[in-house]
Structure 1
Amino acid sequence: MQTALENLSKKDLLAMVSDRDRALAERDEKIDYLESQLAMYRRMQFGQKRERFEGDPNQTSLPFDAEPAAAEQQGEEIKEKIEYVRKRPNHKGRAKLPGHLPVEEIEIHPEGDLSDMVCIGKEITEELECEPAKFYIKRYIRYKYAAKSCDGVKIGELPERVIDKGIPGAGLLAMILTDKYVDHLPLYRQKQRLARENIRIPSSTIEGWTKEALIKLHPLYEQLVFDTKAKGYLQVDETPIRVLDSDKKGAAHQGYYWVYHAPLDGTVLFDYSPTRGSSAPLPVLGSFRGYLQTDGYAVYGKYARSKNVVHLACWAHARREFERALDNDRPRAEKALLMIQRLYAVERRAREEKLAAEQIKELRLTESLPVINELGRWIFEEIKSTLPKSQIGKAMAYAYARWDGLSAYLYDGNLQIDNNLCENALRPCCLGRKNYLFAGSHEAAQRAAMIYSFFAICKKHEVNPFQWLKYTLENIMTINHKNLKNLYPQNYKKIVQQSNM
C-alpha cells in the first residue's frame, strides 16, 4: 500500500520543499530582526548612554541618627580636613584672570606700631569675585519750560522705550529672555529670584513683558527670514515642541521647530510649524535654489527633487545606522565604520590645516573619493545577501538609497560632510524644553523661534547674547529700516569692535 507521500508528484514535492525553505528563511529573518532589537534595547538599558535611575530593592532604609562615637570621630576628621584645606599652598598653574574686569583694591598693612619701620615692598594676591545682579530704578525727570509770552510749553522728550508706559528697561528684559532661552531658566524660577531681592512681580506681568519684548524683534526676524531664503546652501533639521493649544481637551499639541542653518555665514533661522508634514518647510524651501543638506526624512525628498536643488545627505546619520548594527553583525558594521572614519579623518585634516575651499575639494577628490567608491562597491555586493530587516541590512539600505546625496559634498569645498552643525544649533532648544516643558500657544512657540534664531547666531559668532539683546531692544524702534541688518549679532559684533578701536 502506497503512502500519501509516495502518491505526490515530483512537482508537488518540490513545491513543498520550496514552501518549507521559504518558511525557514522568514523565521530566520524574523529571529535576526528580534535579536537586533533585543541588542539595541540592552544597549539602551545597560550601555554607556544610560541615564535612568534604578533603585536597589535590597537597599535598607537610611538611619535618622548616627551613633555618638561615630559622630565624634566624624567631627575630628572634618576638623583635620578643614586645617588641611586652610593651609593648602596656592596652585602654581592657575589661569590668568581676565584683564577687562574692574579691580577693587584692598590694602592690608601689618598690625601694631609701624612708626619705626620702612615699607620695602608688597605682595599681591588676586581672586575672582562677583555680586548678584544689581537692580535699580532709572528715573526720568523731564523739565517743562513755558515761554514768557505764554504762547507755548516745552518739555524734555522721553527716550523711546521697549514697552511704552511699562516698568521694565531694556536691560531687565534682556536678562529675562537670556535666562530663559540661553540658560533655560523658566519664568517662575526667575520670579523666585526677583522675590529674593524683595521685588514682587506677578507671573502674568513677567509673561507679558516677555511677549512684548519678543514682538519688538519681529521686524528683524522677518528680515532674517527673507535673507535665509536667498542663501545658496542650507542645512535643515526639525525637532518637536509641545504646545498647550490643542483641539483635544487636556492634551498638548505636538508642534515642530524647523531650523535652517547657513554654514557659509553662520546664520540660523528657527521657524515653528504645527505639523511635520511637507507643507511645514514650504515658506522657506518653496523657492529655494542651491545645495540642500538634510537627514533621511522623507519630506525633504519633495524639495530635493527640484531641478534647482542639489541634495546633500548626511554621513553622520549613515554612520549611526552602522553603529546600531554592531550588535547585529559586528564584522561588517566595523568594516563600514572604519571606512567612514577615513572620510572624517580627511575632514579633520582640512580643518587643522585651515585649507581654502578649492584645496579642500582637491584633497577630497584625492583621498575621500577612492574611499567612497570602495565603500559603495562593497555595499552593492553585500546588500544582495543581507536580510533587509536586520539592522545591518537597514544600515546598508539607508546608505545605498542615498548614495548620490552622500557623495555630493565632493562637488565643492565649502560643503559639509554631515548635518551636525545644524543639529548643534538645535541643542539649546532641546535643553530648554526639558525645563519649561511646553509653549503656551502656537503664537508663543513662533515668538520663541524668533529669539532662538538670534541666540543661535550669537553662539555661532561668539557674541554675548545679553549685551546684543539689550543693544537691539534699545535701538530697534529708532533705527532706519535700511540699516536694520546692523542689528544682526554678527554685525553688532563688528560695531562693538570698531567702537573699541
Structure 2
Amino acid sequence: MTLPANLDQLTADELRELVRQQSAAITHKDRELNWRKIKIDKLTHEVAYYKRHYFGIKAERLPVEQGQLFEETLAADMAAITEELAQLSETKPKGQAKRQPLPPELPRTEIHHEPESTTCTCGCQMQRIGEDVAEKLDYTPGTFTVERHIRGKWACKQCETLIQAPVPAHVIDKGIPTTGLLAHVLIAKYLDHLPLYRQEGIFGRAGLPIPQSTLAEWVGQMGVTLQPLVDALKAEMLTYPVLHADETPVAMLDPGKGKTHRAYLWSYSIGAFEPIKAVIYDFADSRAGKHAQEFLGTWRGTLVCDDYAGYKALIADGVTEAGCMAHARRKFFDLHANNQSQIAQQALAYIQKLYQVEREVAELSPDERRRIRQAQAKPILDEFHDWLTRHRCQVPNGSSTAKAIDYSLKRWTALVHYADDAQVPIDNNWIENRIRPIATGRKNWLFAGSLRAGKRAAAIMSLIQSAKLNGHDPFLYLKDILSRLPTQPNSRIGELLPHRWRLESID
C-alpha cells in the first residue's frame, strides 16, 4: 500500500483507518509467506524422497519395461516439483547444463523478430549491427525440423541507443522444444498411451533419439503448466446442477516395495443434457468416499452415479442421488443370460420400453422432455414397480432373482428421479463412455508410477478428452494453448477451456 505524501494532514480517524489497512496488508503478506514456506518445505522433502528412489533403483527389482516406466515417472515428478519450487520462489533454477546444438543436417526454417520501428527517438535511422539466434526443435510424425528465431540488434550511432525485439514467450523458458513437439509428446503419452521410452525409440528412427529423461522433464513441467486450466474447468463444472460420477481401478506402484496396489481414477462430467461438454479425472490412492467429497466440496446438486457406498456420505449431506437404469438392466440381463429366467425377460421388456421413450425425447427441449416422460414413462415406471413388488414376494430370499429385484427396489427413488427432472438422463452411460479410454490405456501403462504421476495424467487427460468431446483435434488444441498460456492473463484463462476454444484462434 502506498502511504499518503503528507501524514500530518490526516485526521485521527483517517490515521486509525490507515493503520488498520496496513496491519491487514501485513497479516495477509505474512500468511502468504508462511504458506509459501510450508509448500516449499513440502516440495523440498518430496525432491529428496524422489531422488532417494531414483538413484537407488535396482534393475532386478522390476521387470525391464516396468523399470523404464518407473524411471520416467520419477524424472517427470522431479521436474514438476522443481517447476513448482521455481514458481513459488519466483526465481529461475540455477546451474542448468549448457545444451548441445541441434544437428546441423536437420531442415531449418527462419523466423525473424524485428522491432516495430527502427527510427530512434532522436529521429535518426538505426543501423542493424547483429542478431541473436535461438533454435527450437519441432516435430511432425517421422520428421524433425528446426525453427531458427532470429532477433536483430539495431543501434543509433547518434545517441548510442540499442533496441531489439523481445524474446518470444515460451511455455518452457529457454527450452528447446516447440509447442508442437510438446503437444505431440503429451498426445502420444496420454491419448495414444505410448510410454516415453517407446517415444524415444520412435524419435530415434526419425533421426534424433531424445532421451527418455528429457521427455520426462518436459512432461513434468507441462503437468504443472496445464494445472491452472484444469482447476478453472473444475470450478466451472461445479456451477452446474447435474453431474455424473464414476470410478475405475488403476494400479499404482509402491516404490519402497517394488509392488503395485489398487488406486482409482474418479471421473466427473457435466450433465449429458447440458450444452457444455467437459470431463475431469481425479486420481486417488483408494476408492474411499472421501475423495468424491473432497472433489465436490460444497457442491449440492443432482449426482448421477451407481450404487457404490462411497457416494452415500454425499447423499446424506444434501446431494440428490439419481440412479442408473443401465445398472438395474445389467442385473436382469446377467440373470437371463445365465438362467434363461422368464422373470428377467419380463423385467428387460419393461426397461426396453423406458429406453424407447428416452430415444424419442433425447433431442427435445427440457420442458417437452419432462412432459413426455410424465405422460409416457411415468405409467411404465409405476407398472414396473408394482410388478417388481409382486414378484419379489414369490422368489426365495438369497436367490439370484431376488438379488436382481432387490437392487431395483432398494434404489427405486434414485432410479425414477429422472422422470421428474428433465436435465437428468435415465442412466450413467454418459460418464461410463468417458472412462473407457482409461481401460484402454491400462494395457500400456501397466501402472501409475506415483500419486503425483497419477494426478498429472488425470489432469492432462481431462483436457484431452474434453477437447475431443467438443469436437476439437486434441493435438491442435494443446499446441495452441501451450503457445498462448505464457502470455494469457489469469483473469482470462477461461478463454482457453475446451468448450470455449476455437480453431480460428490458431495463427
With the length of structure 2 as denominator, give the TM-score of the two structures: 0.69
Aligned twin of 1:107:
none
What per-residue deviation string (whole Å, max 9, x for no partner) do you get for residues 324-349 of structure 1?
Answer: 11123510000001100110111112
Query: Letter of the aligned partner of 1:312 in structure 2?
Result: A
Contact 1:246 / 1:253 at 8 angstroms: preserved in 2?
A: no
Structure 1 CA distance for aligned equivalents of residues 141 and 279 of structure 2: 32
What per-residue deviation string (whole Å, max 9, x for no partner) do you get for residues 97-155 of structure 1?
Answer: xxxxxxxxxxxxxxxxxxxxxxxxxxxxxxxxxx9543210111222334435755433
Whichever of the two has the greater Rg, that structure is: 1
Structure 1 CA distance for aligned equivalents of residues 441 and 505 of structure 2: 34
Unaligned stretches of 5+ residues in structure 1 = 1-130
What per-residue deviation string (whole Å, max 9, x for no partner) do you get for residues 72-110 of structure 1?
Answer: xxxxxxxxxxxxxxxxxxxxxxxxxxxxxxxxxxxxxxx
Aligned twin of 2:449:
440
Aligned twin of 1:291:
302
Contact 2:244 / 2:305 at 8 angstroms: preserved in 1?
A: yes
Give 1 or 2: higher strand fraction: 2
Query: Letter of the aligned partner of 1:304 in structure 2?
Result: I
Pair 1:262 & 2:280 matched: no
SS in structure 2 of the partner of residue 221 of structure 1 = helix
In structure 2, the CA distance between the partners of 1:254 and 1:147, relative to structure 1 (3 Å rule), is farther
Structure 2 CA distance for aligned equivalents of residues 138 and 455 of structure 1: 26
SS in structure 1 of the partner of residue 376 of structure 2 = helix
What per-residue deviation string (whole Å, max 9, x for no partner) do you get for residues 276-311 of structure 1?
Answer: 11211122223121111100101111111233x221
Query: Letter of the aligned partner of 2:420 in structure 1?
Result: Y
In structure 2, the CA distance between the partners of 1:492 and 1:232, relative to structure 1 (3 Å rule), is same
- Structure 1 residue ranges (4+ consecutive) displaced by more than 4 angstroms after TM superposition: 149-152, 497-500
Aligned twin of 1:454:
463
Contact 2:252 / 2:450 at 8 angstroms: preserved in 1?
A: yes
Query: Letter of the aligned partner of 1:416 in structure 2?
Result: P
**Residue 488 of structure 1 is aligned with which of 480, 497, 503?**
497
Aligned twin of 2:252:
243
Percent identity of paired positions between Structure 1 and Structure 2:
36
Structure number with greater CO (CA < 8 Å, separation at least 6) is 1
Aligned twin of 2:19:
none
Contact 2:467 / 2:474 at 8 angstroms: preserved in 1?
A: yes
Structure 1 CA distance for aligned equivalents of residues 317 and 384 of structure 2: 28
Equivalence map 1:9-158=2 (5 Å): 132-148=141-157, 153-158=162-167
What per-residue deviation string (whole Å, max 9, x for no partner) do you get for residues 28-65 of structure 1?
Answer: xxxxxxxxxxxxxxxxxxxxxxxxxxxxxxxxxxxxxx
Aligned residues between the structures = 364
Pair 1:363 & 2:372 matched: yes
Aligned twin of 1:171:
180
What per-residue deviation string (whole Å, max 9, x for no partner) do you get for residues 133-185 of structure 1?
Answer: 43210111222334435755433311111212222110011111112222222
SS in structure 1 of the partner of residue 175 of structure 2 = coil
Aligned twin of 2:335:
325
Q: After TM superposition, give the deviation of residue 497 of structure 1 in Å.
A: 5.2
Aligned twin of 2:58:
none
Q: After TM superposition, give the deviation of residue 402 of structure 1 in Å.
A: 0.3
Query: Letter of the aligned partner of 1:397 in structure 2?
Result: D
Query: Letter of the aligned partner of 2:371 in structure 1?
Result: E
Aligned twin of 1:399:
408
SS in structure 1 of the partner of residue 269 of structure 2 = strand
Query: Letter of the aligned partner of 1:200 in structure 2?
Result: P
Query: Letter of the aligned partner of 1:431 in structure 2?
Result: T
SS in structure 2 of the partner of residue 346 of structure 1 = helix
Equivalence map 1:311-390=2 (5 Å): 311-326=321-336, 327-328=338-339, 330-351=341-362, 354-390=363-399
Contact 2:144 / 2:207 at 8 angstroms: preserved in 1?
A: no
Structure 2 CA distance for aligned equivalents of residues 154 and 243 of structure 1: 53
Q: After TM superposition, give the deviation of residue 384 of structure 1 in Å.
A: 2.2
Unaligned stretches of 5+ residues in structure 2 = 1-139
Contact 1:314 / 1:406 at 8 angstroms: preserved in 2?
A: yes
Aligned twin of 2:320:
310
Contact 1:286 / 1:303 at 8 angstroms: preserved in 2?
A: no
Structure 2 CA distance for aligned equivalents of residues 391 and 151 of structure 1: 91
Structure 1 CA distance for aligned equivalents of residues 421 and 143 of structure 2: 51
Contact 2:305 / 2:323 at 8 angstroms: preserved in 1?
A: yes
Query: Letter of the aligned partner of 1:318 in structure 2?
Result: A
Contact 1:244 / 1:253 at 8 angstroms: preserved in 2?
A: yes
Aligned twin of 2:480:
471
With the length of structure 1 as denominator, give the TM-score of the two structures: 0.70
SS in structure 1 of the partner of residue 248 of structure 2 = strand
Query: Letter of the aligned partner of 1:445 in structure 2?
Result: G
Contact 2:245 / 2:266 at 8 angstroms: preserved in 1?
A: yes
Equivalence map 1:199-218=2 (5 Å): 199-218=208-227
Contact 1:328 / 1:392 at 8 angstroms: preserved in 2?
A: no
Contact 1:328 / 1:391 at 8 angstroms: preserved in 2?
A: no
Aligned twin of 1:273:
284
CA RMSD of aligned residues (A): 1.9
Q: After TM superposition, give the deviation of residue 491 of structure 1 in Å.
A: 0.8
Contact 1:329 / 1:392 at 8 angstroms: preserved in 2?
A: no
